[in-house]
Each structure stands twice: as C-alpha cells, then as structure tokens.
C-alpha cells in the first residue's frame, strides 16, 4: 500500500506548503480496549492541528511499539497497521513542524531509552531554550549523539526525550519532574513508559490539554473533540504546571511549577475546533461574539453577510445577528480535493483556489456583500476571495476580520509568516484594502477580541497582535525553526574546515568559511523567520501567482475605514 508523503494535491504551487497550524496530541490508558484504534480516531478529530505527519505508539506493559509516517492520519494508518499496535496504553501525534524540518526523521512520537526501559513522547507547542537543551544533551551524551538525534531528528521533542533517560538514582517520574521546570516555552506533552501514561502542561498553559474518562480507562487530548470522538467524558483541563500519571492505580497529579497563565488567544480566534472549550469558555461562542463585536465597531451597508469557510463562519453568524443583515452561504467548498495524491495538470493549477472553493453566483450577483474572515496574514487569500466575488457580480465587497492585524511572529507553536511578509506591518488599512481589491476593510479591536473570550487580558498571550511575549525570548541566534539544523550544519562545516590539509591554499578555507557565514547570517534573524502561517493556510497553497499580486485598479477604501 502506498504511504503518505505529506504532499497533497492541493499543493498547487511548487515549494508552497499546505495547512500549517501546530500539533495534536492524544493518549489513552484503557486495558481491554483497542487503544491504537482509539488513538487513531482521536488523532483524526485533531487533524486540524497538524497535517504533515502522524504516529502512534502503544505498550502492552512489557514492550513499546511505534508506527509513524508522513501524511494525514488516514493516509498513514490502515487496519493491518493498527491491529499490529497492541497493548493497553497508547500515545498519538499529528504534526505541524515548528522546530525541525518536515521529514520522516522528525515525525512523532519520539522514542528514547530510559534508565530502566523506553519512553515514547508526543509534543504540542514549541520550546524557546532549545539551544540550552542541546547543550544539556551534549553534556550527558558527549559528542556522539544517540537515539533519534543520531538518526537525524532535529526537534526540541527529541531533546526532551533524550533528557528523560535519567540515572539509576531516580525513578522515571522523578526524572520527568526534575526536567520539566527546566523547559522554557510552550509544551503539552503526552508520553509513556512501558507501564504508565503521563501528560504535562507548561506553567503558562499556552496550549490546551484536557483529561477525559472512559468506562475502562482514561484519555488525554489537545481538545475535547479528541475525547468525544472516542466516547470519553470530559473531566477537566490539565492545569498549567501540572503533570499527571495514569496507571492501574488511577490518576496521580503533581505540580512542578507555579501556574502563570498566558493562554494563546489565537486558539479562540482560529486554531481550536469550534466545539472546543478552553478555560470554561466555548470557542464557538467566543467566535460568534467576535462577530457581534465586529459589527458593533465596524458597521457597513450590505445586503448579505457571508463567511470564508470554514473558520469565518461563527464570526459571520455573529455579525449577521448584531447587524440585522441576512446571513448567507456565498461559497461552496470541495472538502475532498486535497485528499488525493493525484497531482493536477497545468491547466488545473491555473484554476488555483477554485479547485476547492466556488462562489455562488445566484447568492452573490448584484449584492453588496460583507465577507467575514478570521484573520489576514499576507493578504493573498483575501485577494483571491474578493476577485472571485467580483467575477460572479458582487456589487460591493466589504471585508471584515474578527481579529486585529497580525504583526508579530509566534515562538510558542504557530508558524506565522515572517514580519516582512505580514501585510499589516508594511501597509495602512487603506493600502491593504486597495491591495486586496475590497471596497472597505475593518478589523476587530484588540479589546473587542479579548472581551469575546471572557478571559482576563493578563491571562492571555496576544504576542502575534501586540509583540508582547509573556515568556521572555532568548537572543535571536538561539531561536528559529531550523536552529538544530543550523547547529549541525555549522558543526559539520567546522569539522570540514579544521580537517582541511595544512598545505592547501588558504583561499580555499577562506571561501568555505565565507559561504557558511553568509548562509548563517541570512538565517540567524529568527524574528524575521517563518513559514506559511496557520491562518490563511487552508487556501494559501491553492493560490496562483496572480492572487499574490496586489490588485492595480481596486476600489479605494472609503474614508473612515478603520482597524
């Protein structure tokens, strides 16, 4: 059977990446159940959090088995594979890469040796002291790496796994509780040894993690959808700074650090599924309220309100309710075009986003359309959307965005575009309006967005909007998605230079050093680094070169267009 390679047919432009969010983690302890299949369906419900690779590890109490590959959950696993993953404990992961490149060696769960067995670990989030952790691993292992690091794994997750080895003076749990406070950044871990399932969440609680109950055991997952899909009832969230252990004696809880909550506000805006609840607040209700608040702050005359599917739908419903303008579905989305390995022809490539989204002419023609989306990052998606609406006869297109302008990259688990690519950094509202070809453009205010979440401002991370990072960042040269790849390349280059024959021309060595330095210099500015973002990315890969060019003769934004 052909295996997934992570290259879906909606990658219509060479070099463009598909949907990019963060990661989904899942764990289950359930004697007598087919835990691999429970993990499969749990990951299936968390697929929106990561689409690059997927993996499941299981334990029968004596031995851990793991299977992982590139691609979607449904592409990686089949019946035979799942049947071979036996046991009563399982850990699963669906990945979007935030540290380390997107290739097989970096797929999760990661495996590592412990002092008395094996650990399998899945991670959602992103650590910011990766360089420090690499130093700790080097101190313990010496210059010859072992385990997954030796096999080419360049993720922060592999470093944590290696550091869980411990020594003979400590139990595995003691090793974990000693290590967790040393990790800086965002992490939700689900991990296991041969006998026990564990879950841990950083003291800031940046990413969500929940605990559920099965009749025969326990489940942990990134979101409630992972619980509901396998028939588990929601018990509670794992608390910031908490580690739980689950075995035949039930659930044990230990706090390894004092909680300092700073949950990601973008979970409410875009990342989490609408049926999630985070810190007792419904994500769906938050998004509907963002739409209502958007209408209060930025009214516009229109005949219909339509969403950009699917993430703009709740906010569009709220906007319609508050404004009194009828809600309508203005687009039909083909949910299946991106689920095949058959590559489109050149003719189909030119259709771009139309392979996945079509405007409904009978609904749109002659209407003043208010189109609601969750965010603007580069502006390419909105430009294509506006063009499609005009092509089917929209009389006017007013774009409303249910989050403030995105101006800063995220270092805690979302791979936004670089600051240079974020359209809100280099253009005014009027200029963005003209660039995307809309008649007007308006964003919700930061206060309005926060109010919709019903969370205190001080308990939220709003760094992508404000540039205020709750977890202090290290120097730029110790940040970046490819930090470990750079380190490995630099070490290899240093070795190559040091081993050059002494009698060789000095200019040869100088040339090598010059090339390395230029390459490193281009990559070191981590604040400017980034890839395709989570928001917008659903259609980003489908866009044609034309969609990426600002519209030349767009309608000028009317006076009073505001953020």
The DSSP secondary structure of 433-450, one letter per residue, reads: HHHHT-SEEEE--HHHHH
- What are the start-end ranges of the E strands in 276-340? 277-278, 281-282, 304-307, 331-333
- How is the chain split into domains, by residue range? 20-262, 282-454
User: pLDDT tens digits, residue range 289-313?
Assistant: 999 999 999 988 999 999 999 889 9
Its CATH architecture, for the domain 282-454, is 3-Layer(aba) Sandwich (3.40)
Q: Is 286 annotated as a binding-site member?
A: no
Q: For residues 453 and 475, what is the distance between their CA atoms, to the nearest angstrom?
A: 32
User: pLDDT tens digits, residue range 234-273?
Assistant: 999 999 999 999 999 999 999 999 999 999 999 999 999 9
* Lowest-confidence region among 294-308, 368-382, 410-424, 491-505: 491-505
User: pLDDT tens digits, residue range 462-510?
Assistant: 999 999 999 998 877 666 555 555 555 454 444 443 443 333 332 222 2
Average model confidence (pLDDT) across the chain: 83
User: pLDDT tens digits, residue range 276-288?
Assistant: 999 999 999 999 9
Query: Which helix H or strand E contains 96, and what residues bound it?
Result: none
Question: If we measure between CA atoms, which residue out of 438, 459, 457 comes closest to residue 449?
Answer: 457
Q: Are strands 233-237 and 89-95 parallel, antiparallel or unpaired?
A: unpaired
Average pLDDT over residues 202-218: 97
Q: Is 373 annotated as a binding-site member?
A: yes
The answer to whether 288 touches 317, Cβ cutoff 8 Å, is: yes
Residue 111 has pLDDT above 80, yes or no: yes
Which residues are the active-site residues?
Answer: 23
Q: Is the peptide bond before 4 cis (omega within 30 degrees of 0)?
A: no
The answer to whether 32 touches 209, Cβ cutoff 8 Å, is: no
Three-class DSSP category at 153: coil
Burial of 164 (0-12, 13-18, 19+ CB in 10 A): buried
pLDDT of residue 400: 98
Q: Is 461 annotated as a binding-site member?
A: yes
Q: Is 531 annotated as a binding-site member?
A: no
Q: For residues 373 and 379, what is the distance between their CA atoms, to the nearest angstrom?
A: 11
Q: Is 447 annotated as a binding-site member?
A: no
pLDDT of residue 485: 56
User: pLDDT tens digits, residue range 308-347?
Assistant: 998 899 999 999 999 999 999 999 988 766 545 455 666 6
pLDDT of residue 513: 24
Three-class DSSP category at 185: strand
Range among 158-162, 535-539, 550-554 with highest mean pLDDT value: 158-162
Q: For residues 124 and 155, what is the distance between their CA atoms, to the nearest angstrom?
A: 12
Q: For residues 450 and 290, what is the distance between their CA atoms, to the nearest angstrom?
A: 9
Structure-model confidence comparison of residues 411 and 534, the more confident one: 411
Three-class DSSP category at 254: strand
pLDDT of residue 555: 43
Residue 385 has pLDDT above 80, yes or no: yes
pLDDT of residue 337: 60
- What are the start-end ranges of the E strands in 329-379? 331-333, 357-359, 368-373
Structure-model confidence comparison of residues 34 and 413, the more confident one: 34
Q: Is 374 annotated as a binding-site member?
A: yes
Fold of 20-262: 3.60.20
Measured from the Cβ of residue 391, the count of other Cβ atoms closer than 10 Å reads 12
Query: Which helix H or strand E contains 361, and what residues bound it?
Result: helix 361-364
Sequence-ordered alpha helix ranges (H) in 68-210: 73-76, 79-84, 130-141, 147-150, 156-163, 172-179
Measured from the Cβ of residue 531, the count of other Cβ atoms closer than 10 Å reads 17
Q: For residues 157 and 106, what is the distance between their CA atoms, to the nearest angstrom?
A: 9
């Amino acid at each position: 059977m052909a295996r997934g390679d992570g290259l879906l047919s909606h990658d219509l432009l060479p070099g463009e990446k598909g949907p990019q969010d963060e990661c989904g983690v899942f764990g289950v302890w359930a004697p007598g159940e087919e835990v691999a299949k429970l993990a499969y369906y749990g990951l299936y419900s968390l697929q929106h959090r990561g689409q690059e690779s997927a993996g499941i590890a299981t334990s029968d109490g004596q031995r851990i088995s793991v299977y992982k590959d590139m691609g979607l959950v449904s592409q990686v696993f089949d019946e035979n594979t799942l049947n071979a993953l036996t046991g009563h404990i399982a850990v699963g992961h669906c990945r979007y890469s935030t540290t380390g490149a997107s290739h097989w060696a970096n797929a999760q769960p990661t495996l590592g040796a412990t002092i008395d067995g094996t650990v399998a670990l899945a991670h959602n989030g992103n650590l910011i002291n990766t360089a420090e952790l690499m130093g700790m691993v080097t101190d313990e292992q010496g210059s010859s790496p072992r385990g997954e690091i030796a096999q080419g794994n360049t993720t922060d997750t592999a470093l944590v796994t290696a550091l869980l080895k411990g020594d003979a003076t400590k139990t595995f749990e003691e090793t974990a509780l000693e290590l967790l406070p040393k990790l800086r950044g965002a992490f939700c871990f689900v991990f296991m040894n041969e006998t026990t399932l564990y879950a841990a969440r950083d003291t800031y609680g940046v990413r969500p993690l929940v605990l559920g109950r099965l009749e025969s055991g326990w489940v942990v997952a990134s979101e409630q959808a992972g619980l509901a899909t396998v028939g588990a009832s929601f018990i509670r969230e794992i608390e910031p700074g908490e580690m739980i252990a689950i075995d035949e004696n039930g659930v044990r809880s230990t706090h390894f650090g004092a909680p300092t909550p700073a949950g990601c506000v973008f979970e409410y805006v875009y990342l989490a599924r609408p049926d999630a609840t985070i810190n007792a607040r419904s994500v769906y209700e938050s998004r509907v309220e963002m739409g209502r608040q958007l209408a209060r702050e930025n009214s516009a005359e229109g005949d219909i309100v339509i969403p950009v599917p699917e993430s703009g739908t709740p906010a569009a419903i709220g906007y319609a309710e508050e404004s009194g303008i009828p809600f309508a579905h203005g687009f039909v989305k083909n949910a299946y075009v991106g689920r095949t390995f058959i590559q489109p022809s050149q003719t189909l490539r030119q259709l771009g986003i139309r392979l996945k989204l079509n405007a409904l002419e009978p609904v749109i023609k002659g209407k003043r359309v208010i189109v609601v989306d969750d965010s603007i990052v580069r502006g390419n998606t909105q430009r294509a959307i506006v063009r499609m609406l005009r092509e089917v006869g929209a009389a006017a297109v007013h774009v409303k965005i249910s989050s403030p302008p995105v101006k800063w990259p995220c270092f805690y688990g979302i791979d936004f575009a670089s600051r240079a690519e974020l359209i809100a950094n280099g253009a005014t509202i009027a200029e963005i309006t003209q660039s995307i070809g809309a008649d007007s453009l308006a964003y919700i205010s930061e206060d309005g967005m926060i109010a919709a979440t019903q969370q205190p401002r001080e308990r939220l991370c709003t760094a992508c909007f404000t540039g205020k990072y709750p977890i202090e960042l290290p120097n730029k040269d110790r940040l970046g998605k490819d930090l470990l790849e750079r380190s490995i390349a630099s070490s290899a280059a240093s070795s190559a230079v040091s081993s050059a024959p002494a009698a060789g021309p000095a200019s040869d060595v100088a040339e090598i050093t010059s090339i390395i330095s230029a390459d490193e210099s281009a990559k070191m500015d981590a604040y400017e680094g980034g890839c395709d973002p989570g928001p917008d990315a659903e259609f980003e890969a489908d866009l044609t070169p034309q969609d990426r060019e600002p519209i030349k003769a767009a309608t000028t934004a009317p006076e009073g267009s505001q953020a």
